[in-house]
Amino acid sequence: MKVIMIGCGYVGLSTGSVLAYIGHEVTLIDSDAEKIAKLRAGELPIYERGLQEVLRASAGRISFTDDWDSFDSGADAVIIAVGTPIGEGGGVDLTCVEAAVQEIGARVGGGSMPVILLKSTVPPGTGSEMKALLQQKLAMRGMKSRISVVSNPEFLREGQTMFDSFYPDRIVVGIESDEEETFLATLYRPVLLQDFTPPLAIPRPGHTRLPPLVATDLTSAELIKYAANAFLAVKVSFINEFANLAESVGADITAVARGIGLDQRIGPQFLQAGIGWGGSCFGKDARAILHAGKRHQAELSIVRAALDANQTQRGQVAKKLGARLDTLAGRTIGLLGLAFKPGTDDLRDAPSLDIIRQLVGGGARVKVYDPAAMEKLACEHPMLSVEYCPTAESLFEGCDAVVLVTEWEEFLHLPYAELGERMRAKLLFDGRNVLDQKMLTDAGFTVCGVGRSDADGGREWLGAV
């Protein structure tokens, strides 16, 4: 099929390259000329595992342009994958989606009509509105032909977008006719049947079962996206709140998470307690659906609670360190990790940002190290007063406490015993519960985690500060 992808962000690039890999002829359009020039030169504007290899393997079937005039009105599918940020009033800003629809409406027609896929995350009802807008645009051009607008939300995890595109748990489509369902089943056929040869960088996992095509109406498909993200955010906030209780009653949240996660009705994923969730989607989508709920007189109190609990959770680091160190004023705190999760340099809605503000606000000197996100912090948040450390090792120098904020693999293997000697006081806050507590206590550290009793059993060590 001939496919046009509008938007070259994480979603557009990953999905576009996978569609090309499985045999379609894909053109990606983005208004950012610089990004397009880079892509044409073989450079990637983002890092995603396997993307480079898949793009190379698909060369000849994939092209990039910033010129709407090269829009092929004979395409079979046009996929809208542009950004939908939160707007000023708290609702979703649909400017980019509407602009794409206008451009499409000005160009399609004449021959056969492409099917329009709405992949951007949009509030329930938007698909129908965009369809009406397109129909109106066509009518203004004197065309009476019917156009198909379908919803096709994505569930791609950053850092894993290629894996998630090749081996999705499901493909959700919001449709209005059997023909539309057949069309989408054909578009995604190799993924649904898993009969493509996997790229070397993204091998097919052993357990793969065929992903079902979940076909429903447009609005339900749109709501599935929000419900999925909100549910995952609720799940993490839930375990984080229980982590706080576990600490107070002397229980271990990792054991609790394992104990409940083995119940198949609950499942083990997204039960990793920590210093809070972040990223470009959870917070944005939770706020957007709360806003939509309000407009439709539906109170989503659990989603609101998940957001509130997350904000409280981010505050735990400064609160606990303040208590542990008697004061934050004049203390030196090192943050191991900045990105909202490992494997990315993304700082959007990262807990580290709030943690830095709170620590600095309390009068602490903050040192930071992240293997990928330091440049971004300097560029995007120049007002944050932090000291950048060139290595994880140098971060420990003179610290009263070090906090593991992002669970990068390399942080699991640092020579902690040696690094502890460089600190003023050996306090380590494992904000992701990933370090070996026994190894750290043996090395003389006082360790506190999230939802675990302190390894030293109390505050006696404070005399050392």
Catalytic annotation, residues:
281
Q: Is 355 in the site for ligand UDX (CB under 6 A)?
A: no
Residue 166 lies near ligand UDX (rule: CB under 6 A): no
Near ligand UDX in 36-95, by CB under 6 A: none
Region from 33-41, 49-57, 177-185, 278-286 binding ligand UDX, contact rule CB under 6 A: 278-286
Number of C-beta neighbours around residue 453 at 10 A:
17
Residue showing tokens 């999705």: 168
Rule CB under 6 A: choose which of 270, 291, 393, 424 binds ligand UDX.
270
Closest CB to ligand UDX among 183 and 340? 340
Q: For the CB of residue 42, give the shortest distance to ligand UDX in the complex, in Å.
A: 25
- Both tokens of 104, joined, read 């499409």
Of the pair 192, 239, the CB lying nearest ligand UDX is at 239
To ligand UDX, the closest distance from the beta carbon of 279 in angstroms equals 3
178 to 237, contacts with ligand UDX by CB under 6 A? 229, 232, 236
Q: Does 403 bind ligand UDX (CB under 6 A)?
A: no
Identity of the residue, 282 or 408, whose beta carbon is nearer to ligand UDX in the bound complex: 282
> What is the closest distance, in whole angstroms, from the C-beta atom of residue 442 to ligand UDX in the complex?
27
Torsion sign (Cα): 248, 249, 255, 256 = negative
Binding pattern to ligand UDX, positions 287-326, x when CB under 6 A? ----------------------------------------
Binding to ligand UDX by residue 271, rule CB under 6 A? Answer: yes
Span from 141-149, 153-161, 171-179, 197-205 in contact with ligand UDX (CB under 6 A):
153-161
Question: Taking CB under 6 A as the rule, does residue 242 contact ligand UDX?
Answer: no
Query: Does 168 participate in binding ligand UDX (rule CB under 6 A)?
Result: no
Q: Does 445 bind ligand UDX (CB under 6 A)?
A: no
Site string for ligand UDX, 13-42 (x = CB under 6 A): ------------------------------
Q: Edge-to-edge strand order for the sheet containing 401-404?
A: 387-388, 365-369, 332-336, 401-404, 427-430, 446-448
The answer to whether residue 281 forms part of the interface with ligand UDX (CB under 6 A) is yes
Question: Among the candidate windows 271-279, 314-322, 391-399, 440-448, which touches ligand UDX by CB under 6 A?
Answer: 271-279
Determine contact, residues 49/201, Cβ cutoff 8 Å.
yes
Using CB under 6 A as the binding rule, whether residue 278 contacts ligand UDX is answered as yes
Report residue 116: phi and psi, to 5°.
-95, 125
Q: Please identify, among the stretches 66-74, 79-87, 170-178, 275-283, the one whose residues bind ligand UDX according to the rule CB under 6 A.
A: 275-283
Does the protein bind ligand UDX through residue 152 (CB under 6 A)?
A: no
267: left (phi over 0), alpha (psi -120 to 50) or beta: left
Nearer to ligand UDX, 94 or 156 (CB): 156
Question: How far is residue 285's CA from residue 300's CA, in Å, rounded to a whole number?
Answer: 13
The stretch among 88-96, 141-149, 274-282, 353-361 that binds ligand UDX (CB under 6 A) is 274-282
CB of 225 to ligand UDX, least distance (A): 8
The yes or no reply on residue 272 touching ligand UDX (CB under 6 A) is: yes
- Interacting stretch for ligand UDX, rule CB under 6 A, among 105-113, 135-143, 148-156, 287-295? 148-156
Q: How many residues bind ligand UDX (CB under 6 A)?
A: 19
Closer of 113 and 347 to ligand UDX (Cβ):
347
Interacting residue ranges for ligand UDX, rule: CB under 6 A = 154-158, 229, 232, 236, 270-272, 274, 277-279, 281-282, 340-341
